[in-house]
Chains A and B, each alone.
Chain A
Amino acid sequence: MDEQTLYNRIAELRAAKGLSQQQLADAIGVSRKTISTVETGRFTPSVVIALQLAHYFAVPVEQIFRFEP
């Protein structure tokens, strides 16, 4: 199976809210390293975290995660 790259806009959305990684991590109940590694694409989060992020930023999941850069 071809591995697809998952791009995300977490850093952008986070910046728009003026949040640090730690603040976002605390808000959705994960570690800062989870946010940090998801942001840089080193770790692919589960649907649960994706939905939590979407809920937190009040945007559809597709606006945070996508396959195109």
Chain B
Amino acid sequence: MSKWTIEDQENVVRASLVGALFVAWITAHFLLEELTLRWFGFVRISDAIGVLSIIPLIYYFRQLRKNPKVLSYGWRLRELCGEFQDEYLRSRFQQATTLAFQLMMFAAIVGYVGGGIVNKFGDPAWLSYKMVPLLVIVCGNLSFYLSLRDVLDDQDDTPEPLIEQSSKDNS
């Protein structure tokens, strides 16, 4: 792996955050569209939610316009595979991916078992082939985004009073 600057590594995290939020958001729309239609029979509301899935698309294209390198950094993420040279980023990224993986597996198994039970004892019309995969994608991407969203936050709770004290001492 070539030497990545800290800025490169932070940009990769930013790109993966944008991607995760976009995928979680748009799949949540698709999932809600299915739920309102299948479980509650609200055809109009379901259609409206489907149309509103343009909002995450707008968000994504706005991010692309603001940061044209989002796509290329997102693509370079596969080179890193979480092996960030910066320890803090690596630690947080690995925590986030592990948690997302666990939640995705949990959602997949619950969806599989729950789907089987509904098909056997309930009304098969409650479920579509889309629901479980959408639930898995929403869980994984939302968890990943929430775990990492503050990782690059400039406003943290680290005071730097000693620097000020030192400056006064020097002057």
Contacts and interface: CB of A to CB of B under 8 A. Distances in A.
A and B are partners in one complex rather than unrelated chains: yes
Interface of A: 11-12, 14-16, 18-21, 25, 29-31, 33-34, 36-40, 43, 45-46, 49
Interface of B: 6, 9-10, 86-89, 91, 151-152, 156-158, 160, 162-163, 165-167, 170
B162 A11 contact: yes
B131 to A, nearest CB: 38
Contact of B88 (A16, A20, A31): A31
Nearest to A26: B6
A38 B150 CA distance: 16
A33 B166 contact: no
A15 B162 contact: yes
Given A21-B158, A31-B9, A36-B156, A46 B87 contact: yes
Contacts of A30: 6, 86-88
A31 B152 CA distance: 10
A33 B87 CA distance: 10
A12 B160 CA distance: 10
A21 B88 contact: no
A37 B150 CA distance: 13
A24 to B, nearest CB: 11
A40 B158 contact: yes
A65 to B, nearest CB: 15
Contacts of B163: 14-15, 18-20
A14 B160 CA distance: 10
A31 B44 CA distance: 49
B165 to A, nearest CB: 7
B61 to A, nearest CB: 29
Given A30-B6, A33-B152, A45 B166 contact: no
Among all A-B residue pairs, the 6 with the closest Cβ atoms: A15-B162, A34-B88, A36-B158, A15-B166, A31-B86, A31-B6
A14 B163 CA distance: 8
A31 B9 CA distance: 9
